[in-house]
Structure formats: C-alpha cells, structure tokens
C-alpha cells in the first residue's frame, strides 16, 4: 500500500479536508436555513456551505477541518441523521474517503 500524499492546503482546493453532509429534523420551526448558514459561517472555519430545506428538514453541506464541531452545533438544532463525513484528500489519492 502506498502512503497517502500530503497536499499543501494553502495552494489547492483541499484547504478544508472534510466534506461534511447531514440532514437536520429541526425542533425550532422558526429557525430558518439563512440563520443556520450565518451561524455556521461565523463560528466555523470552512467553505462550500449549502444550507437548504423546508419548514421541517434542513440539508447541510460544508467543507471543514473540524466536522465534529459542525455536527455538535447541528445537534442543538434538532435530530441529525444521514451523516456523511468524507476525507477529500484520501479520495483524491484514489482511496475511500
């Protein structure tokens, strides 16, 4: 097995290693996806945020180096499920993310 090559985060698309995706069945129906998006961008370092949904369900997609922090926050909003955290550097090296 070949070692995983490191990628210089300063010079490429993988500055944020983990593609974090999940669904939130939110408790507070008045909390909209714009408020959630604003909170995530102001409290967590990352990029490529998508927060979309309806009155019950929100889908989050975010690239970050600390996915556990995003998951912890989202868990305060409601029940989280269909959680996927993929290592994009491993994927770029042809390995399972």
**Does the pLDDT of residue 74 top 90, yes or no?**
yes
In a domain, 26, yes or no: yes
Number of structural domains (the chain) is: 1
- Domain membership of residue 8 (yes or no) is no
Find out whether 72 and 25 touch, Cβ atoms under 8 Å: no
- Better-predicted residue by pLDDT, 92 or 82: 82
Burial of 11 (0-12, 13-18, 19+ CB in 10 A): exposed
Contact of 9 with 2, CB cutoff 8 Å: no
Q: Tell me, what DSSP letter sits at residue 38?
A: H
The whole-number average pLDDT for the span 35-46 is 97
In a domain, 5, yes or no: no
Residue 65 is predicted with a pLDDT of 97
From the number of C-beta atoms within 10 Å of its C-beta (0-12, 13-18, 19+), residue 63 rates as buried
Give 70's contacts (C-beta < 8 A, 6+ positions apart).
20, 40, 44, 46, 60, 62, 64
pTM above 0.85, yes or no: no
- More confident of the two residues 85 and 29: 85
The per-residue pLDDT for 29 is 86
Domain membership of residue 46 (yes or no) is yes
Report the CATH number that the domain containing residue 58 is assigned in CATH: 3.30.70
At 97, the pLDDT band (50, 70, 90 cuts) reads: low
Could you tell me if residue 2 is inside a domain?
Answer: no
Is residue 83 pLDDT above 60, yes or no? yes
Check whether 49 has a pLDDT greater than 90.
yes
């Amino acid at each position: 097995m070949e070692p995983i090559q490191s990628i210089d985060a300063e010079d490429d698309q993988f500055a944020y290693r983990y593609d974090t995706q999940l669904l939130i069945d939110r408790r507070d129906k008045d909390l909209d996806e714009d408020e959630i998006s604003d909170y995530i961008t102001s409290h967590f370092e990352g990029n490529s945020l998508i927060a979309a949904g309806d009155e019950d369900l929100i889908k989050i997609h975010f690239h970050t180096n600390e996915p556990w922090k995003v998951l912890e926050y989202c868990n305060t909003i409601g029940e989280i499920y269909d959680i996927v955290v993929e290592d994009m550097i491993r994927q770029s090296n042809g390995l399972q993310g």
